[in-house]
Structure 1
Amino acid sequence: MLSACAASDDTKPITFTEDRGVSTQPFPKNYRAEVLAFLKTYLNDPVGVRDAGMAEPVERVIGGRLRYVACLRFSPRESDGSYRAPREHAILFVDGRLDRILENAVEPCAGLAYAPFPDLEKMTR
């Protein structure tokens, strides 16, 4: 019985918020604070991030649904102290709240203007 609870439906992605499929989405007002709080737990080592930039949230169609997407570009510090090349990440918002992150998000982040995001570079544990 317990395995049925753990089984996932491949047609529904795992997200942090319930997606009601609403086409009109509110602008994520506290997106910077939510992104920082999320990345503090998401990154193996949030200290020493370099080349951080963030684009303001814009509406994009992701998975057939209109969502606000804030794009990040940064270089995290690896466990050996080295840095990899900056990568783009798309942060998706549902109902104005952070829902999930998309790795290597070149397409959803195409054409966006990045501004420096020094708060990400100043993160501590």
Structure 2
Amino acid sequence: MGMGRTSWWPATALALLLAGCASGGPAAFMSEDNRGISYTGDRGVGSQPFPANHRSEILSYLRTYLNNPVGVRDGVMAEPLQRTVGGRLRYVSCLRYAARESDGSYRPAQERAAVFVDGRFDRLVEDAGELCAGSTYAPFPELAGLTR
């Protein structure tokens, strides 16, 4: 029977093995502090550029992050400040809002921290306690205008 029918499996096994190596495994998707997915590459640069488009990037992310982005209440946000996140200096913008539930009710306002790497939105930290301690909030009316 030669090469026809049985030679496909070594090539398939090799392709799967190489795909696993190229992805870096599950740890490649964890941030340096193991708290979530990181969407941007980290060059390891100590001085970070100010995230000039922080408001629009946060709004874009929340439009997909929230189950129902329509009718968000009590939206406030702090200007980005440099904080240490996972041992590295990052710009962090704290926000607080009350999201609408699927039944139309509202849960209490929640505090989140938007982390920026190289001037771009990287991730939203749900347990923002220490990162947002002492933040000065200002109204964020654009949050109430989100649509699906």
Which runs of no fewer than 5 residues in structure 1 stay unpaired? none
Matched with 2:89 is 66
Q: Percent identity, aligned pairs only?
A: 58
Query: Could you tell me the TM-score, scaled by structure 2's length?
Result: 0.79
Alignment of structure 1 residues 21-60 onto 2, 5 Å? 21-60=44-83
Contact 2:29 2:38 in 1 (8 A): no
Rounded Cα–Cα distance in structure 1 between residues aligned with 2:43 and 2:28: 17
Query: Could you tell me the TM-score, scaled by structure 1's length?
Result: 0.93
Give 4+ residue runs of structure 1 displaced > 3 Å after superposition. Answer: none
Structure with larger RCO (C-alpha < 8 A, sep 6+): 1
In the TM superposition, residue 67 of structure 1 has moved relative to its aligned partner by 0.0
SS in 2 for 1:9: helix
Contact 2:98 2:109 in 1 (8 A): yes
Q: Of Structure 1 and Structure 2, which has the larger fraction of its residues in helix? A: 2
Opposite residue 8 of structure 1, the aligned amino acid is: P
SS in 2 for 1:92: strand
CA-atom RMSD in angstroms? 1.8
Contact 1:57 1:70 in 2 (8 A): yes
Matched, 1:112 2:135: yes
